[in-house]
Structure 1
């Protein structure tokens, strides 16, 4: 029997630095859906990414279970091949004088540095990906010369070079100006046409576009809502999530939050 889920958690609890960061989590995610996880700062979003990447482990209990790609004990090398994660900490690891082409190529070797190996196959993979993502014009630019939005897209391209099953985007539009923000959102929307599925983590409701089949809301380590956009995104759920009175509006495929004043 074929298992349709790449992630399955049943009643798991996780601790980090003595604090319970994931509470009684029941969650299944299929191979066929793009998912967005939304919640305020400190909600447990990054902790769930750490669970997926096997950086933290759930408490062992008789009534709990965690499977990734249908395996309770998955090999970490296999996991790294099938899931690529892009977070904002990555930017600090990169030599500012590394060119875009070389940075993307480094993803084939699991590094963040210049790769001296000359390979026609590598060149084809990098050139093809840059062409598909319409970023070929950036190939010879130094990473430090890019705008923040361009940097984010190049890191996403690097994560995609090995064609993972799942791309995890951790706060992809955090600290971006409006131009960079919309640039990144548009590029991610284009990526939804590829075979790689997106698991996006954000605190920003404007990140939720039509490409996401499912919205999950998390607060204090617990899921408070889960379903399609029409079901989940409403004023009641957003009040639970952020603790504010607000109305939510969808316009031109984007969600907007307007605070209500008494």
Structure 2
């Protein structure tokens, strides 16, 4: 029987620059789940992504292990095929004059530039993805001419071209205006209908839509809340997460956070 979890960690601790950024982590994530990880800046969210992508490693200890796709020693090339990560640093690597169609195709080769050796099969794969994502008009544009929200969607498409099992989205709406923010959130909701599962990392609870089966709250490198939306998202948890007195309500499928006024 195949393991139901693509990620398993038991009692792991990780350090960066002498600081413990992941503390006694116990976490399992199933293939069947869309998961959103939420926490303030400096909570360890990016460090957890680095652990998953094998960019940092936990300290070796008894009764401690990490498995990805049921392997403790997974091949990095295999990992890159099965997990695609989109973060905000990627934009700086892209030739600004690249057409979105060619940007998507470049993902098949692990590059960010025009691929002169592309095949008809490559073109067909991109055409199919463009159709499934409903981004035909976007695919014809030049990357530098896109809005910030459109750039994010183009990067999602590039990340999906290899049909990964898991799509990691690292702060996908950071620094976006309201129009771009909702454009990106709506597109992520559409992506949930494809075969790839989403692991979204954010500090913004407005990202939490109905597609997410599970919400994990991370603070100071530790998980302090984990469960479905109704279990985890409440004013007390958010007060503890952000260190501010707030009220949270749900409206039309979106969570809204309000700061209590001083009297």
TM-score by length of 2: 0.99
Match of 2:71 in 1: 71
Q: Could you say which residue in structure 1 is the equivalent of 2:186? A: 186
Q: Which residue of 1 aligns with 2:101?
A: 101
**Could you report, residue by residue, the CA deviation over 1:206-258 in whole angstroms, capped at 9, with x for unpaired residues?**
00000000000000100010000000000010011000111101001000001
CA distance in 1, matches of 2:188, 2:54: 25
- Superposition deviation, residue 131 in structure 1: 1.4
Question: What is the aligned length?
Answer: 262
Where do residues 129-144 of structure 1 align in structure 2 (5 Å cutoff)? 129-144=129-144
Shift of 1:29: 0.2
Q: Which residue of 2 aligns with 1:231?
A: 231
Aligned CA RMSD, in angstroms, stands at: 0.6
Match of 1:128 in 2: 128
Query: What residue in structure 2 maps to residue 196 of structure 1?
Result: 196
State how far apart, in whole Å, the 2-side matches of 1:13 and 1:68 are.
16
> Are residues 1:8 and 2:8 paired?
yes
Partner of residue 34, structure 2:
34
Q: Which residue of 2 aligns with 1:112?
A: 112
Aligned-pair CA distance for 1:140: 2.6
Structure 2 residue runs of 5 or longer lacking an equivalent are none
Aligned partner of residue 217 in structure 2, secondary structure: strand
Of 35-44 and 128-137, deviating more is 128-137
1:53 shift after superposition = 0.1
Q: Report deviation, 1:183.
A: 0.2
Q: Does 1:260 align with 2:260?
A: yes
Q: TM-score, normalised by structure 1?
A: 0.99
Structure 1 segments of 4+ aligned residues over 2 angstroms from their partners: none
Deviation at residue 139 of structure 1 after TM alignment: 2.2
Question: Could you say what secondary structure the match of 1:216 adopts?
Answer: strand
SS at match of 1:88: coil
Shift of 1:138: 2.0
Matched, 1:208 2:208: yes
CA distance in 2, matches of 1:27, 1:92: 32
